[in-house]
């Protein structure tokens, strides 16, 4: 009997093909015969961890495997703790709210959802569980095991093992964005998710305090819930710090264990620390980066981490809207968390730093006008970020901030000219306008005598969050307008051509604030699908 055509392919070509497949498909290929089992290794470079038995079990199995453990370069901690829903109505209401902008993934006939269900469970169909059945499964199979693991710190012990077993580990990340954008379509298909039974459903787990704008929308609609079934977010956010800090358990665990690893083995290879919110309006509690008396201990642990470990990459996302009840009303503004204490923490980062990103929650597409008209003073970024201490910085990212235009221009002008390669400005609200920011940047940094960008031309990318339009039905997307080439053509155009009337116009409108991207110069991109891109006219 002749061999199947796939077995005649050169191993090199087979490797190119399998590089495009998910691990679930590679697993199926490996089970067909010994040749494919040897020729199609798993593509495994990262592992997931959270307080759930399935994730911990897979994590430890990889840590104990003599070959697979050498391939791991990243640990991702899913910091979304499951909530104790108080009734089936509460459970169903939260699930419905999660999918208010899209059809129910378990019931929809939309081709995208139908294909998704088939990829997870094949052609067999099982009706979705009713709310009470799903809630009982949730409580017994997921919520109770989570409580037991948190009580014993079994996940912390697993992390401790992995940090020492993964010899080529270079990055640790804590994510708030593992479960979106909707049920059945998570950003990260963790072992926990893939082991869930067909027909099961639950509200999307929310890390920390969830999307800020979404939380306020949920508060506004709380009156529609059955009496006693609503989750009182404002009461939840007003808890004392010793309770509030438990929401950020994963971050605190990673910081503490990384410090312990560094004390034990300073030569370890972990050099990147990432707080991942996937461009959502979410972040860590600002008290972790400020030093009021109640949170001083957690703040100082972070300061020690940044000062001890020679990080080459740090991505931070800080929630400026977290409750201020812990300060007993003494804090005049959320901006205090971006003041001297944040600078004190960041000053510990040494000359090894290559990539830095800072995101907050002050600006959102859902309340753009309210964000821009905020009573908070614009951020004076050149006083917050100790750029002078990072002489080898290659990329800088800033997101969801109301910024002082002059201060931002000063900051960008102070970036190390010999190393900076990319600047990303994502959903910012300049104190003047993006048009004015671009002109100032070109005049005072690119073309100024002795300006840092005279010879080197860092790539400047401007992004603007946008709501998902109805032009893209099916699985929700997290969309942004992206302006890239047009920004750089404007900034770095030849002055002689400009004088000759052949200049490139600024891609932003002068009379539209705060951003005002001109028509025809941007693309729509999706944070959940890097390969998805369409022109602006949709």
Q: pLDDT per position in the chain (538 positions), as tens? A: 566 777 777 777 877 777 777 777 777 778 878 777 777 777 789 999 999 999 999 999 999 999 999 999 999 999 999 988 889 998 998 899 888 888 899 988 888 888 888 888 877 677 899 999 999 999 999 999 999 999 999 999 999 999 999 999 999 999 999 998 899 999 999 999 999 999 999 999 988 876 655 665 665 555 544 444 445 555 666 677 788 888 899 999 999 999 999 999 999 999 999 999 988 888 998 888 876 666 778 888 998 999 999 999 999 999 876 654 344 444 555 565 666 788 888 999 989 999 999 998 877 665 555 444 445 678 888 888 999 999 999 999 999 988 899 999 999 999 998 899 999 999 998 988 899 999 999 999 998 876 668 778 999 999 988 876 656 777 888 888 889 999 999 999 887 777 667 778 899 888 766 567 777 778 888 888 877 878 754 4
Cis peptide before 181 (omega within 30 of 0): yes
Place of tokens 């910091």: 79
Helix residue ranges per DSSP H, 274-339: 296-308
Question: Nearest 10 degrees: CA dihedral of 463, 464, 469, 473?
Answer: 40
Please tell me whether residues 274 and 135 are part of one structural domain: yes
395 to 359, 416, 424: CA distances (angstroms): 14, 10, 8
Please tell me whether residues 365 and 465 are part of one structural domain: yes
Residue 249, SS3 per DSSP: helix
The separation between CA 182 and the C-alpha centre of its own chain, rounded to angstroms, equals 16
Please tell me whether residues 37 and 160 are part of one structural domain: no
**Domain tally, the chain:** 2
Please tell me whether residues 37 and 98 are part of one structural domain: no
Please tell me whether residues 32 and 131 are part of one structural domain: no
Please tell me whether residues 31 and 61 are part of one structural domain: no
Mention every residue, 6+ apart, whose C-beta is less than 8 A from residue 243.
none
Cβ–Cβ < 8 Å for 365, 527: no
Please tell me whether residues 106 and 250 are part of one structural domain: yes
Distance CA 39, CA 29 (A): 10
- DSSP for residue 13: H
Question: pTM, whole model, 2 decimals?
Answer: 0.90
Question: Domain of 36?
Answer: 5-43
Please tell me whether residues 25 and 142 are part of one structural domain: no
Find the helix or strand (DSSP H, E) in which 500 lies: none
Question: Nearest 10 degrees: CA dihedral of 153, 155, 160, 166?
Answer: 180
Please tell me whether residues 62 and 11 are part of one structural domain: no
- DSSP for residue 143: I
- DSSP for residue 67: T
Structure tokens at 469: 């339009």
Please tell me whether residues 145 and 222 are part of one structural domain: yes
Please tell me whether residues 264 and 139 are part of one structural domain: yes
Please tell me whether residues 113 and 11 are part of one structural domain: no
């Amino acid at each position: 009997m002749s061999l199947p055509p796939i077995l005649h392919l050169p191993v090199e070509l087979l490797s190119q093909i399998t590089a495009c497949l998910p691990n679930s498909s590679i697993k199926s290929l490996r089970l067909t015969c010994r040749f494919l089992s040897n020729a199609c290794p798993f593509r495994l470079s990262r592992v997931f961890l959270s307080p759930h038995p399935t994730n911990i079990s897979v994590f430890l199995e990889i840590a104990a495997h003599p070959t697979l453990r050498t391939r791991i370069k990243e640990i991702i901690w899913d910091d979304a703790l499951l909530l104790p829903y108080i009734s089936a109505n509460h459970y169903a209401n939260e699930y419905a709210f999660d999918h208010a902008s899209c059809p129910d993934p378990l019931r929809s006939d939309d081709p995208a959802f139908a294909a998704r269900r088939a990829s997870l469970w094949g052609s067999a169909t099982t009706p979705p569980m009713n709310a009470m059945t799903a809630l009982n499964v949730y409580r017994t199979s997921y919520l109770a095991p989570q409580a037991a693991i948190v009580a014993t710190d079994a996940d912390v012990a697993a992390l401790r093992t992995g940090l020492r077993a993964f010899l080529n580990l270079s990055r640790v990340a804590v994510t708030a964005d593992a479960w979106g954008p909707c049920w059945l379509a998570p950003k990260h298909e963790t072992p926990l998710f893939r082991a869930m039974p067909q027909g099961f459903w639950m509200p999307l787990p929310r890390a920390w305090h969830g999307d800020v704008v979404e939380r306020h929308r949920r508060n506004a609609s709380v009156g529609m819930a059955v009496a006693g079934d609503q989750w009182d977010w404002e009461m939840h956010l007003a808890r004392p710090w010793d309770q509030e800090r438990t929401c950020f358990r994963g971050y605190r665990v990673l910081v503490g264990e990384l410090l312990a690893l560094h004390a034990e083995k300073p030569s370890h290879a972990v050099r990147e620390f990432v707080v991942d919110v996937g461009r959502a309006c979410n972040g860590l509690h600002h008290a972790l980066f400020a030093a009021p008396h109640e949170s001083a201990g957690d703040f100082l642990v972070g300061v020690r981490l940044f000062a001890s470990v020679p990080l080459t990459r740090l991505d931070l996302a800080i929630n400026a809207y977290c409750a201020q009840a812990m300060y007993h009303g003494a804090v005049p503004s959320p901006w205090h968390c971006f003041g001297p204490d944040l600078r004190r923490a960041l000053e510990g980062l040494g000359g090894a730093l290559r990539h830095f990103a800072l995101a907050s929650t002050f600006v959102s597409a859902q309340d753009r006008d309210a964000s821009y008209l905020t009573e908070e003073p614009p951020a004076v970024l050149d006083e917050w970020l100790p750029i002078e201490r990072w002489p080898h910085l290659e990329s800088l990212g800033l997101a969801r901030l109301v910024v002082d235009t002059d201060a931002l221009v000063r900051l960008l002008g102070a970036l190390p000219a010999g190393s900076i390669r990319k600047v990303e400005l994502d959903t910012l609200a300049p104190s003047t306008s993006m048009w004015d920011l671009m002109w100032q940047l070109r005049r005072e940094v690119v073309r100024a005598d002795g300006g840092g960008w005279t010879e080197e031309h860092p790539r400047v990318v401007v992004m603007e969050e946008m709501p998902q339009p109805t032009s893209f039905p099916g699985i929700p997307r997290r969309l942004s307008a992206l302006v890239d080439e047009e920004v750089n053509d404007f900034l770095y155009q030849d002055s002689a051509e400009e004088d000759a009337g052949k200049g490139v116009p600024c891609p932003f409108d002068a009379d539209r604030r705060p951003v005002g991207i001109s028509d025809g110069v941007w693309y729509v991109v999706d944070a959940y699908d890097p390969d998805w891109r369409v022109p602006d006219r949709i």
